[in-house]
Chain A
Amino acid sequence: MTARFRNPTGGSVDRSRTCRFTFDRQSLRGFAGDTLASALLANGVHLIGRSTKCRRPRGIFTAGPEEPNALGTLDPGDRQIPNVPLTVAPLADGLVFASQNRWPSLRFDLSSIAGVAGARFGAGFYYKTFMWPAWRWYEPLIRGLAGLGCAPKIGVDRPPRERHLDCDVLVVGGGAAGLSAARAAASRGAKVVLCEQDSSLGGELQFETATIDGRASSRWLIDSERELRVAGVELLTGTAVVGCYDDLLLALCQPAGYPGEADELLHIRAAARVLATGATERAIAFAGNDRPGVMLLGAVERFAARFAVRAGNEAVLFANHDRVYCAAQRLREAGIRIAAIVDPRARPELAVLEELERGGVRICNEQVVEQVLGGHRVSGVIVRHRDGVGTPTRISCDVLGASGGWTPALQLATQSGLAQRYDAQLGAFIPVSESATVIPAGAARGKLELAAALADGTAAGAVAATAAGRDAAPAERPALVSADPAPAVMPFWRVVGGDEKRQFVDLQNDVTVSDLRQAVAEGFREIEHVKRYTALGVGTDQGKTSGLPGAAILAEFLGKPLAEVGVSRPRPPTRPIPLGVLAGFRGAPGTVRPVRHTPLQADHVADGALMEPAGLWLRPRYYRDHGESLAAAAEFEAQRVRAAGGLFDASTLGKIEVAGPDAAAFLDRIYLARPSGIGIGRARYCVMLREDGMVLDDGLVLRLAAQHFLLTTSTHAAAAVLSHLEYHAACSAAELAVSCTDVTDAWAVIVVAGPRTRQLLRKVLPPAQWREPLEQLRHMDFHCGKWQSRPLRLLRASFSGELAYELHCAADAAPPLWRALRRHGAPDGVIPYGLEALDILRVEKGYLTSAEINGQVSPYDLRLDDMVKRSAPCIGSGLLARPALHEPSRPILVGLVAADATARLDAGAQLIAAARSTQSLGHVTSAVWSPALGRAVGLALLAREFAAHDREVVAADPLRARYTKARVTAAVHFDPTGERMRL
């Protein structure tokens, strides 16, 4: 049981495999090898969707990816894929898809009422109204009418596939020119990759009847494919090159024609590229040329030749070139009756015309189709003389194949930097090939005739191979060809006279000839302006069939030659790319950036830590066993550290080793606080400035040897500091001999803090080596030794304000060390603590993080005046004298204590003098509820002139509706003399 419009034989569909599919809940059948469009046509379905602005009924227009009308939504539901060009999507059993942009149904679309208004009002009507009272009153209605398909609600995760290819010659396009180019290049020893966007090779060859070298073109195709494979050419079908980015070409392999499992993104680098991208058939503008059943002539041919589908039973053909006559013959053989051929040119001298007339075909030369009749389907046409003389005739038909000629596909050539020139005979722009590495060939260069395309491709392949450095030169065999004659195109863009509001140029966006006339009248005289004003070419088809006709009609209205008007600049990609494919592996959930774990990740998780991103790192915020909530657990942890002890993973700190004969001198140029004065075995808190004098980072500098230092940086600034050091070592301090090595990932850092830490370390670190150092280490001393025969550096330093040690050990030695500390510390009450508790401890002590060192503060703002005084001239120090840094309104670091024990202080609150004031004096940089003080405390940057101790300010937090009275204090709330650290 064959579908009504399917021919019993012919085509390359697999008639042994029936595929059932559903369109708008209608069950239909087709064959494997069909596209959705061909299967629909086989079943006589022509009404596919509705246009954007005017909501006019639309059908299938092309047979390829340049389709402007026939877009559907696949797999309707939460995971649907909208805007799938049905002319590309292959049919599979069980496919379900729906039409778009209509309500309640395709046939009875209520929104077409609005469309009538849209049609009447012309281009850009929305700029001239909707101003009173405000646009937002009208916006929801207009937005609701715009857009095509509906976006899905749920994103589908597909494993991303990417490939990188390197080759000598990339051939874009597997038609006649592309295949010969590939053969010519491969025969010269070049490594060749050929990308063809269609699922099969051949391009136009699949539809022309021709003889090449004594074989039918279909035979030649099969032979060529085999020969190329044997020659080692990589043939990639279903793969469209979508963008040229200087040396890189991006290609999308999408076998399904819509986002699917097999999608692949290819990065191709080629020494030379042959752009055999072919030519796209273009339309003619005539009244009613958007009705379902009006198609490009080549599409009608394709459906017949490839899928054995008759787009209709009775066709009128309308074209401005000779090929229409050969096409008519082929269509008759495919069972379509040709009612008439309408050709605006004078009658050409071709034998085939008599044959056609003998077969009952009416040939109307010097005539045009003035109007298409029909609503949801073409029912006939009105044909009249080109110049309007005589009476028009009505001819019935159910399909109209129209063709205005062919436009070389220039997008990739333009992206590759080639210029264009206008070819009057072709009525199109062709690329100017001056580059040895970017070579357009074949129809893409205006060589529409088969023999010329083959020869051009062969020549291009040879040039490309030479440019790639391959030069073995075999004998060139000329291909003997008999094929369709040269088309003899007469440029013809629109039917003059007739209803210009119904003569469509851009089908998807309903841009008509009238709109173009209006744009010119309103002063838009450049193609780029016209494109933006009318929406010409901005649809999903990217203007492939409408761009040049639009420019030509614009040229006519401007009274300028088309060569001067040009076409709008094509932007990549040349085919729309699904965002999921573009995102690649970075698009999978949870992998948009690399994730960094410390060596203790597994231990933290096992201990019940809530792990949160801190930059790219995962770090423990708090440990769930320690409290019901974040606040409770943090308070518990902080109190325990001060009462007994705690363990903290500080491995994420940046660590950089600086060594070399001039290491000390170098560090004096980098840091305030003169690192050259640090004793061996000692550490010092140092601050480095940015080139403009603002504080870049702070950290400890440890002197390992006379000219060997270890720097620690804050976690978030590690990468920036490393580059900063390397830059100055190479540039401003180039005369110094020094090297900087990043050792961040090599060393883990475990902090042991609290009154019981020394006794804990006595248990864990073997006394033979460590008893003495533990007794003797003063604050900011360090000792290097071993633990379990791995290097261990023990530094006595504190960020919590308690007696504390940093254990620097090799990353892989960290887990056993941590576990040993946990085990031996547990009886003493030593627990692990996280970032939240750390914040409590350090704010109580007034230690700084990136909340204070925010890139906007000078060392004076952080009260480091003494450090500045003691420094050698260093990077940034020369700019500290600028008056702006010393003004009374400059912020300075202060402490804040909430006046009321129950009040809350939050980071981000603005400081004002009194409740009603709107003048900001500064802001709260960090705030915690302090267990040690029993109230909220914080650090702030407050204008110098207001920063007197005991002054009352208000922390204004209108966002959270809180105004907290606070007292200005020194920037340390707990143990100001630091006794506890020095136990």
Chain B
Amino acid sequence: MLISCPFCGEREVAEFEFRCTLEERGATAAERLYFRLADPRRSLEHWQHVRGCRMWLELHRDLRTGRVLRTASVPVPPADGTGS
């Protein structure tokens, strides 16, 4: 499988590490940490390009076919949110 890293281009999946699926569900923080209701046709996932640029990516994948539908770097917040 090839993943198209927005920074490095198409690289083999062995360079990346999957972390978790998104689509958390639950009334409490504890539940949301664990429970998922993900659509396998469009699984939203966080991956890291560990053996490359080490950036974090959000992937949309179709689990039934294994195809990567969309790759994006993890969203950056709008400009007015920076600084402490």
Report A's interface with B, CB cutoff 8 A. Answer: 246-248, 661-662, 665, 691-692, 723, 726-727, 730-731, 734-737, 878-879, 882
Contact = CB atoms under 8 A, between A and B. Distances in A.
B83 A661 contact: yes
A228 to B, nearest CB: 29
A662 B83 contact: yes
B51 to A, nearest CB: 11
Contact of B56 (A246, A662, A731): A731
Q: Which 5 A-B pairs have the closest CB atoms?
A: A735-B81, A730-B56, A662-B84, A665-B84, A730-B74
Nearest to B67: A246
Contacts of B50: 723
Interface in B14-51: 17, 19, 29-30, 33, 46, 48, 50
Contacts of A734: 74-77
A532 to B, nearest CB: 25
B29 A735 contact: no
A735 B30 contact: no
B50 to A, nearest CB: 7
B81 A879 contact: no
Interface string B47-84: 01010001110000000001000000011110001111
Contacts of B2: 246-247
Contacts of A882: 30
B33 A692 contact: yes
Interface centre among B30, B33, B48, B84, by most chain A C-beta atoms within 10 angstroms, is B84
Given A246-B1, A730-B55, A723 B48 contact: yes
Contacts of A248: 12
Contact of B48 (A246, A665, A727): A727
Contacts of A727: 19, 46, 48, 56
A731 B33 CA distance: 15
A155 to B, nearest CB: 26
Interface of B: 1-2, 12, 17, 19, 29-30, 33, 46, 48, 50, 54-56, 66, 74-77, 81-84
Contacts of B19: 723, 727
A726 B54 contact: yes
24 contacts: A246-B1, A247-B1, A662-B83, A691-B33, A692-B33, A723-B17, A723-B48, A723-B50, A726-B54, A726-B56, A730-B55, A730-B56, A730-B74, A731-B56, A734-B75, A734-B76, A735-B77, A735-B81, A735-B82, A736-B84, A737-B82, A737-B83, A879-B29, A882-B30
B61 to A, nearest CB: 13
Chain A interface secondary structure, helix, strand, loop or mixed? loop
A661 B77 CA distance: 16
Contacts of A246: 1-2, 66
B55 to A, nearest CB: 7
B9 to A, nearest CB: 13
Contacts of B1: 246-247
A736 B2 CA distance: 31
A913 to B, nearest CB: 33
A645 B3 CA distance: 53
Contacts of A730: 55-56, 74
B77 A878 contact: no
Contacts of A692: 33
Nearest to A668: B84
Contact of B74 (A247, A665, A691, A731): A731
Given A734-B75, A735-B77, A737-B83, A878 B48 contact: no
Nearest to B76: A734
A521 to B, nearest CB: 36
B73 to A, nearest CB: 8
A882 B30 CA distance: 8
A246 to B, nearest CB: 5
Nearest to B1: A246
B69 to A, nearest CB: 15
Given A247-B2, A731-B46, A731-B56, 11 more contacts: A246-B2, A661-B84, A665-B84, A723-B17, A723-B48, A727-B48, A734-B77, A735-B77, A736-B84, A879-B30, A879-B33
Interface centre among A248, A735, A882, by most chain B C-beta atoms within 10 angstroms, is A735
Nearest to B10: A247
A736 B76 CA distance: 10
A730 B50 CA distance: 14
A878 B46 contact: no
Contacts of A661: 83-84
B52 to A, nearest CB: 13
A665 B1 CA distance: 38
A739 to B, nearest CB: 11
Contacts of A737: 82-83
Nearest to A741: B54
A730 B58 CA distance: 11
Given A734-B74, A737-B83, A878 B29 contact: yes
A618 B12 CA distance: 29
Contacts of A879: 29-30, 33
A882 B28 CA distance: 11
A730 B7 CA distance: 15
Contacts of B56: 726-727, 730-731
A731 B54 CA distance: 14
A737 B55 CA distance: 15
Contacts of A735: 77, 81-82
A28 B81 CA distance: 84
B40 to A, nearest CB: 18
Contacts of B33: 691-692, 879
Nearest to B66: A246
Nearest to B55: A730
Interface centre among A665, A730, A734, A735, by most chain B C-beta atoms within 10 angstroms, is A730
Contacts of A247: 1-2
A736 B84 CA distance: 7
Nearest to B57: A730
Nearest to A729: B56
A661 B84 CA distance: 8
A735 B54 CA distance: 19
A665 B50 CA distance: 25
Nearest to A884: B30
B46 to A, nearest CB: 7
A727 B58 CA distance: 12
Contacts of A736: 82, 84
A662 B83 CA distance: 7
A701 B1 CA distance: 39
Nearest to A731: B74
Contacts of B84: 661-662, 665, 736
Contacts of A723: 17, 19, 48, 50
Nearest to A882: B30
A882 B17 CA distance: 30
Interface centre among A248, A734, A737, by most chain B C-beta atoms within 10 angstroms, is A734
B22 to A, nearest CB: 10
Nearest to A735: B81
Nearest to A722: B54
A626 B37 CA distance: 59
A510 to B, nearest CB: 38
Contacts of B66: 246
Nearest to B73: A730
Contacts of A665: 84
Interface centre among B46, B56, B66, by most chain A C-beta atoms within 10 angstroms, is B56
A737 to B, nearest CB: 6
Contacts of B83: 661-662, 737
A223 B19 CA distance: 55
Nearest to A728: B56
A665 B83 CA distance: 10
Contacts of B54: 726
A268 to B, nearest CB: 13
A734 to B, nearest CB: 5
Nearest to B83: A661
Interface centre among B66, B75, B76, B82, by most chain A C-beta atoms within 10 angstroms, is B82
A692 B82 CA distance: 27
A691 to B, nearest CB: 6
Nearest to B65: A417
